[in-house]
Amino acid sequence: MAYEIVVLTNMAIAVLFALSLNVITGFCGQVSLGHAAFLGIGAYTSAMLSKSGVPIVITFAPAMGMAALIGLVVGVASLRVRHDFLAITTMGVVFLFTGIVRKQEILGGEIGISGIPAPDFGRVGLLATSLLCVLAYLLFTIWVRRSWAGFAFDSISEDEDTARLLGINVPKFKLFAFVVGTAGAGLAGALYAHQVRFIGPDSFGFVESISVLAMVIVGGIGSIWGVILAAAFLSALPQFFQVIDDYKLLVYGLLLFGAMRFAPEGIDGLLKKIFRRRAVK
């Protein structure tokens, strides 16, 4: 039973992480290839605070705040670039983050941080906490999607210039997407740190950024429920097939290629087609 709890907790964290990227890339159309850096920022913030004696749950807010603050900085720096240039800019963030961590002894350097305190409420409590965090973030993203911000995101995703002509403050909503998305990643990182109890720079590299991007694309860019299904499924696969974990970058690369070539709308699009055909029959 303990193993199943660990797997379910990992799935919940992956879902939260994927939902956070979906706000930036799915809702607002801003391609980010460095999202793992914000997962790492949340993880390191929570780990350092908890090792200093701060209760684990109390570390979640600072983890989100620190990730959101750096996300705001990255968002400001990315306002003048679009598409491929934006992807390259965000990709540089993950390399910058891992490079800084490797050089800072206070952050564990190359070795990383071990002995991160386990939750007082145990594995089951951590699973329940993770699920509550997913539910809270899910409800918030649904609200954002249905609000004026969601309309603004759709307009920006379709055509930024047209969005400006409609009177939408494009920089404001871009920054809002980065803040919300990176805050969610920071929360996922905090949960992850206390789940594995050891973190290092290799835990938040480019591979992790590609992995979460694959979850969003396979689920269906902009689809909340499709992303949840893809994140849960893809995060559970390595638990049953070790070869996937050994060749993660290759596997996720093939998934990205396959999804873009044969199912550009992802799981969400496939399910909609199936339901449409059944409705016609």
Confidence at residue 82, expressed as pLDDT on a 0 to 100 scale: 73
Supply the pLDDT for residue 167. 87
Tokens at 91, concatenated: 């990709």
Task: Specify the pTM.
Answer: 0.91
> What's the pLDDT tens digit per position in 75-107?
888 887 777 778 888 888 888 999 999 888 888
How much is the pLDDT for 220?
87
What pLDDT is stored for residue 246 in this prediction? 65
pLDDT for the residue 199:
92
Q: Domain boundaries in the chain?
A: 2-280
* Candidates 1.25.40, 1.10.3470, 3.40.190, 2.60.40; CATH matching 2-280: 1.10.3470
Rounded average pLDDT per 10-residue block, the chain, 281 residues: 85 96 92 92 95 92 96 87 78 89 85 85 89 96 91 89 88 93 96 92 87 89 90 81 65 74 71 63 54
